[in-house]
Amino acid sequence: MSLGPIMLDIAGFELSPEDEEILRHPAVGGVILFSRNYHSIDQVENLIANIHRVRDPHLLIAVDHEGGRVQRFREGFTLLPAMRRIGELYDHNKKSAKSLAEKVGWLMAVELRSVGLDFSFAPVLDIDYQQCAVIGDRAFHSDPHAVYELAYAYIKGMESAGMAAVAKHFPGHGAVTDDSHLAIPVDHRAFDTVMLNDVYPYRMLIKNNLTGVMPAHVIFEKIHPQPAGFSSYWLKNVLREQLEFNGVIFSDDINMQGASFAGENYADRAHSAMQAGCDMILVCNNRQGAIDVLESLPDWNNPVTNMRLARMHGRKPITRTQLRMLAKWHETTDLVKRYVDEPTIDFRF
């Protein structure tokens, strides 16, 4: 059975009979885990193994595990720094900062791979304009070239651990004040400004075979009237044609308020995002909404999307025992601890 275009969530620490039934639906292609799905390394490893047993090829399993405020699994995992900390180092020593970014990317990825997880929705490419609290220190830097260089190094580390990257939030979420979890943000800037600054890191990383992109639930009112994640202009004309991106386009969660532009009906939201150019739709924290979407896609099949999604499977399997025998793991965890701050906002759902 091929992977479907829907990524959804589950409620607890293990699969329920209803979960297993839903995950067998042909339109399902992945599962996103949250902090509510984690209480120990052994537990989450078993959960991931059981999800993988449901289908062949196995469903993709993802998580938001950026570091700083957004790190779903904490106890038993190395606490990762906010990306701004790496950007601060960049201002003093570019070489050291890029080395740190690569090591953090590797550490994040290899620890998740050691429990069987396929990928994290990272890194954030938003430019830090110091306007958007929901982005804030999740961004590497205010300089687009610095964002590109640090993200390139971070992705290099991820890839060395066998994990594909998903850059977000295209074309940029950093210049708005509203949080798209709670509102529909509107960016008032001109096309040339957005392309020159916010899109620059994407353009450069796409040239280096970026695997995945997640668009923002942000309206760029002077450019196109729909949020980027529901805009064929942004996804097909700009991302696919102008930037020549050939990887996976993941929607942001259509349960967010920023997705309400596409209507109250979740099936309508999902179809709008797919028609705009998204390959995989995230439907989180709303089981009935997810069921409605699945029921609207009984016979879905898209060979191109299947090929793209297959590239998101984790590679280079490693056990936790093997990981902890690596001198690189011990050295990297010791290094990373120096850059970790206590998070001020908790994004655990």
| pLDDT one-digit tens code per residue, 5-14 | 999 999 999 9
In-domain check, residue 224: yes
In-domain check, residue 341: no
Query: 149-153 — which CB contacts under 8 Å span 24+ positions?
Result: 149/90, 149/94, 149/98, 150/83, 150/86, 150/87, 150/90, 150/97, 150/98, 150/101, 151/101, 151/123, 151/125, 151/201, 151/205, 152/98, 152/204, 152/205, 152/208, 153/98, 153/99, 153/101, 153/102, 153/105
Which stretch of 20-34, 201-215, 328-342 has the lowest confidence by average pLDDT?
328-342
Q: How many CB atoms lie within 10 A of CB 162?
A: 18
pLDDT in tens, 312-344: 999 999 999 999 999 999 999 999 999 997 544
Q: What per-residue confidence (pLDDT) applies to 341?
A: 75
Q: What per-residue confidence (pLDDT) applies to 347?
A: 40
Total count of domains within the chain? 1
In-domain check, residue 243: yes
In-domain check, residue 282: yes
In-domain check, residue 348: no
CATH of the domain at 190: 3.20.20.300
pLDDT in tens, 210-268: 999 999 999 999 999 999 999 999 999 999 999 999 999 999 999 877 778 777 789 99
Give the pair of three-digit tokens for residue 94. Answer: 């570019």
In-domain check, residue 342: no
In-domain check, residue 74: yes
Catalytic positions are 181, 252
Range of the domain at 210: 6-336
In-domain check, residue 11: yes
- Average pLDDT value over all residues in the chain: 93
Its sign, for the CA torsion 18, 283, 119, 104, is negative
What percent of the chain clears pLDDT 70, i.e. is strictly above it? 97
Residue 3 near residue 30 (C-beta atoms within 8 A): yes
